[in-house]
Amino acid sequence: MKTISLTIPLTQYGNSMLGANLEIGIPPQKVTLLISTQSPITWLFDNTIDLGGLGGKKDKYGHRSSSTFKTMGASYEWTNGRATAKGVIGADIFTAHDTRERTLSGYHITSAVRSIGFHSFGLITSVKDWDQFMVGDGMLGLATGQVPMSIYKATKVEPNFVSNVAGNTASTVMTLWIDIRGSAQMSPISGQLTFGSVDPEHCRTNSTRWVDRTDDALWQFRLHSVRVPSLKQKLELTQSATSNKFIQGHFALKASSNRGYVYGPNVTVQALAKLVGAEYDWKEHSYSITCEKRNRGPVIEFELDGGQFITVGPQHYVIQVSLGA
């Protein structure tokens, strides 16, 4: 029987990364996978990988220790131009400690372990010239596009994680709730993913508003304007060489789960930074603002289709990216 909803608890790393707490295989092995709404790809480090000072030994998931792991007869390869990761395509049983469960026969609170079922992923067994710090044990792709063949060297397209979970719930709705802690250190459970319904615990369902996505694969929406109401400022949206957000005759706003920054055309970002009192940091190639302005800055509004607004207060755009800063 399909359940109405399924929740997965999240751990927050600083203010810019979220990890999904899952168990994989039999016997279950606990892992934390960084979530990414910009990629449909799920991948894990095998327990043979040691990143040293860039993330330590990744010893949470060992495919040889799982009786349910199976290879999919294809290789996996990823590169960012310098670092290279290689491995195989595997599949195993994913489970979550679902703390809230609603079935078709009613609603009740539970702490039961819920099986998500078999899901395929890239299993990284070797790395070369690894050049970025990596917390967590891998990546959980939450984009809804097809897994690209250039990444999965397979003969067929495997379903992405969102589609896989949607097949076991009564609705295709996904809710991401984040509890902002305001600290650069890893915090305890500080958010949750809900599949199959609007999050009944943290979202007011009677005030939920819907807008169409402009991309079948990404969580991307048509952007009409950016403004700072308290200062009576409406910022210019200008297509520039630094922006790829001008798509099919309109600007787009892309929601990203693993970015702690606001990105956009130079003209818009420069004007926005000036209004909120941010200064450019040449070393970090981004704008910085003192944490004391976390509760004193102006509200920013992003206008989407139908006159709907995403409102971002200073407690959300002033984030602590390092200890003591």
Tell me: do 78 and 136 sit in the same domain: yes
Rounded Cα–Cα distance for residues 299 and 322 (Å): 23
Tell me: do 191 and 248 sit in the same domain: no
Rounded Cα–Cα distance for residues 138 and 78 (Å): 13
Tell me: do 38 and 169 sit in the same domain: yes
Is the pLDDT at 255 greater than 50, yes or no? yes
Between 183 and 221, the more confident residue is: 221
Nearest CA to 3 among 162, 197, 159? 197
Between 4 and 22, the more confident residue is: 22
pLDDT at res. 49: 92
Cβ pair 296, 318 in contact under 8 A: no
Burial 202-240 (b: 16+ CB within 10 A, else e): eeeeeeeeeeeebeeebbbbbbbebbbeeeeeebebeee
Is the pLDDT at 138 greater than 80, yes or no? yes
Is the pLDDT at 111 greater than 90, yes or no? no
Last residue of one domain, picked from the residues 195, 219, 237: 195
Tell me: do 92 and 231 sit in the same domain: no
Rounded Cα–Cα distance for residues 138 and 71 (Å): 18
Between 252 and 100, the more confident residue is: 252
As a whole-number percent, the residues of the chain with pLDDT over 90 amount to 14
Residue 1 covered by a domain? no
Is the pLDDT at 135 greater than 90, yes or no? no
Tell me: do 83 and 188 sit in the same domain: yes
Token pair listed for 75 = 């290789």
Between 245 and 254, the more confident residue is: 254
Residue 129 covered by a domain? yes
Rounded Cα–Cα distance for residues 67 and 303 (Å): 50
Tell me: do 11 and 155 sit in the same domain: yes
Residue pLDDT, tens place only, 45-67: 999 999 988 888 898 999 999 99
pLDDT at res. 180: 63
Average pLDDT on 184-200 reads 70
As a whole-number percent, the residues of the chain with pLDDT over 70 amount to 77
Tell me: do 181 and 297 sit in the same domain: no
Residue pLDDT, tens place only, 212-242: 888 888 888 888 888 888 877 777 665 543 3
Last residue of one domain, picked from the residues 160, 195, 230: 195
Between 297 and 147, the more confident residue is: 297
pLDDT at res. 14: 61
pLDDT at res. 245: 45
Residue 67 covered by a domain? yes
Residue 324 covered by a domain? no
Residue 279 covered by a domain? yes
Residue pLDDT, tens place only, 277-313: 888 888 877 888 887 777 788 888 888 888 888 888 8
Is the pLDDT at 164 greater than 70, yes or no? yes
Tell me: do 181 and 247 sit in the same domain: no
**Can you give the CATH number for the domain in which 165 is found?**
2.40.70.10
- Number of structural domains (the chain) is 2
Residue 303 covered by a domain? yes
Q: The dihedral of CA 41, 46, 48, 52: what is its sign? A: positive
Tell me: do 101 and 230 sit in the same domain: no
Q: Which domain holds residue 284?
A: 210-317
Average pLDDT on 109-113 reads 52
Last residue of one domain, picked from the residues 169, 195, 221: 195
Tell me: do 220 and 139 sit in the same domain: no
Residue 290 covered by a domain? yes
Average pLDDT on 109-116 reads 61
Is the pLDDT at 243 greater than 60, yes or no? no
Tell me: do 180 and 220 sit in the same domain: no
Rounded Cα–Cα distance for residues 200 and 4 (Å): 11
Residue 123 covered by a domain? yes
Tell me: do 33 and 169 sit in the same domain: yes
Of 170-174, 192-196, 255-259, the least confident: 255-259
pLDDT band at 4 (very low <50, low <70, confident <90, very high): low
